[in-house]
Every structure is written in structure tokens, then in C-alpha cells.
Amino acid sequence: MIYLDYAATTPVDENVVDVMCQCLGSQELFANTASSHAAGRKAHKAVEAARDRVAGLINAAARELIWTSGATESDNLAIIGAAHFRRLRGKHLVTSVTEHKAVVDSFHLLEKEGFTITWLHPDEFGVISLQDLEAAITDETTLVSIMHVNNETGVIQDIGAIGEICRRRDVLFHVDAAQSFGRLPIDVRRDQIDMLSLSAHKAYGPKGVGVLFLDSERIRRVEPLLHGGGHERGLRPGTLATHQILGMSRALEIAHQNLAQEPQHISVLRDYLWQLVGVIPSIQLNGHPSRRACHILNVSVADVEGESLLYGMRNFALSSGSACISDSAEPSYVLKSLGRSDQLAQGSIRFSLGRYTTRAELDQAADTFIATVTRLRDLSPNQQSVGSG
């Protein structure tokens, strides 16, 4: 199978595997980092060194990073935790309808608890209006959450400009950067980000570990979601998974080191794939034509049923949207927000490329995709309605 689903998860880099295996095989690093004996202190030192390395990659201080199980937990802790802690100041929050499910569902929960949510709608390319965002902020607003790179379309939001608005209006700004780390530069100070969520497995690291950055000058505390110990400054209890943390640190280091070359190379491959499949009549690019991350190409084709399209591409690891909603028969809410019909939203494919993608693999994918669309349209009663272009 040819893997073209890097936005869902990435294979673990061999260097990361080596680091994790060395940790798992160590006679000392297996110890609990909260233990006071020599082995515990050594494990603690290794974890803190990893924390310091990851912090440096986003221009943060080590004390500002909380280890979590991934970006989903980081999103939940940031949004729900901050909203609960600041509820006496105000109960109005701002986000967009195209956020990841981890963000959307967190806001739905807060809505049920009596918080008021302003749901911003993007333009037809998926971009959030800065004017709309600033107009949504009121004296009761305590938090804005906007993702850096959309996980379905790859559209990039101007988090620097949003950060400036939020800082000027004295509102906390949370960013889900799971899809952007290693593909775009991230600087929490420059972009005035108060909370940032990262995940290891989107950047060639292990699953089950992530980070939440909390600006120490802006955030005194958030309410923890879990209870059971004083780990991670009392914000995230549980014994730390040392091997996963060291693996995440190494994965993010490698991604950061490759930032000058890898995204440019993947962008060339993505554009090459679009050249190949863009010749299909009535195919639409979903998202912004240029303001998008290097690794995602999301397209919709008319008069093709989505499940049949995926079946025709069964020898390729692909997605019709976010992996988090792949079990749902509903059309993508992200594509619907861009004005796509139910048929076009369901007849969409997300190609996502990565470090190990080759041009030959894209040639095979494009040939199969074109042949599948052609065959399905020949079988479709609507095939005569398909025009050229």
C-alpha cells in the first residue's frame, strides 16, 4: 500500500525509534520520574532535558510546557481549563466552525455549561476574517481559539495577526498547531500565542504524547481535567512516559532542523500531484490556492460517490477528511463551511504527503485516481451533466 495520509499520522522516524528503544532498554530510565532515588532522578533529568529542547524550538521556556497524551488532550486542557478558571471574568469565547473536532467538541461542552460561543465562518477559501474576529470580541470574551493549519484543507490562518488582536484586547489566544509544526515556523513570542497544542505523531514521532504551552506571564493557571497527583505542576497528573517524551523531543528536533528544506520539497510534490489530477473535468481544489501548508491536497469531484471513490483507491492509504470523523457517514463539516454541496463534500479526497513520499508514488496515485473517477462517472446516471474544465 502506498501511504498518502500523513495528515492523519506519520511513520516514526528511524532516529526516533532508536532513541525510544535505548530508553526502554535502559536499566535506569524506566524509573518513575517522580521517584527520589537515583534512577528516578536520572529519568527526571532526561525528561527535563527533553522539555528544554522542545521549548527552545518554539521560543518558550521549559517551565511553560506541560506533557500530555497528544494534541487532543492539550486542546481540551487549554480550552476547558482556561474557560473554567476565568469564568468569573467572562463567559464569552470565540472560535471557528472549521476547527479540529478536539476544539469544536470542547466548545460544545462549554456551551452546554452556559458559556456563549461565537462561531466564526471562513470565506470560500477557508480563511478567517481578521475583521470578523475582532468584531466578535466583547468585554466578556476571555478566550479565542484558532488553529494554525487546517487538518482537512491545509489552509493557513494568520496567527500572528490574530495574536496581536487578542493581546491588544487582553484576551487569551490558543492555537492548535498539530498540523503546522515542522512545516511552518512557530514562535510563541513573535506570534503572541498564550497557549499552543502540539502532537508528536504528526511530526514523525510516537503516538500518545503531546505538549501544551502555557505562557507563564499571561496565564497563572488553568483548571486541570484529570486528578490524581502533583505531576506537571498539578495540571496533568499521571506517571510520565519517558520513552515517548524522549521520542517526541527527537522527532521535533529533526522536523525543526529540516524546516528550511523539507516543506519546500513536499510543496513541489503536492503541486506536481495537482498538475496530474487537475486535468479531471469538474474537479475542485478545496481550500486556498496558495495560502496552504505544503503537505495537504484536498479535492472534490462532481458526480462521484465518495465511498466508491475511496474503494477504487483502496491500494492507497487516503482519507476523505479528518481521521477523527472517518467513522461518520456525514459529509465533512469543514468542506460544507466552504460552500461545498453534500455530494461534493462526500466526493472529496485528501491526499497528504510527507517525508517519504516519492514522485513515482504520486504518478501511480494520479493514474488510479483518474481511472477511478472516469469509471465511476461512466456508471453514474449523472455522467452526462459533467462538463469540461
Asked whether 69 and 209 are in contact (CB, 8 A), the reply is: yes
**CA dist., res. 90 & res. 207, Å (int):** 36
In degrees, rounded to 5, the angle at the alpha carbon of residue 242 between the alpha carbons of residues 241 and 245 is 90
Residue owning grid cell 499520522:
9
C-alpha pair distances (Å), 276 with each of 19, 321, 370 = 39, 21, 9
**CA dist., res. 202 & res. 129, Å (int):** 27
In degrees, rounded to 5, the angle at the alpha carbon of residue 52 between the alpha carbons of residues 257 and 16 is 50
Which residues touch 142 (CB under 8 Å, ≥6 apart)?
Answer: 82, 83, 86, 87, 89, 90, 91, 92, 93, 171, 172
What's the sign of the alpha-carbon dihedral 305, 309, 311, 312? positive
23 is catalytic: no
Asked whether 300 and 309 are in contact (CB, 8 A), the reply is: no
Neighbours of 121 (CB within 10 A): 12
Asked whether 210 and 68 are in contact (CB, 8 A), the reply is: yes
Helix (H) or strand (E) holding 211: strand 210-214
**CA dist., res. 214 & res. 237, Å (int):** 16
Asked whether 170 and 120 are in contact (CB, 8 A), the reply is: no
Active site residues: 324
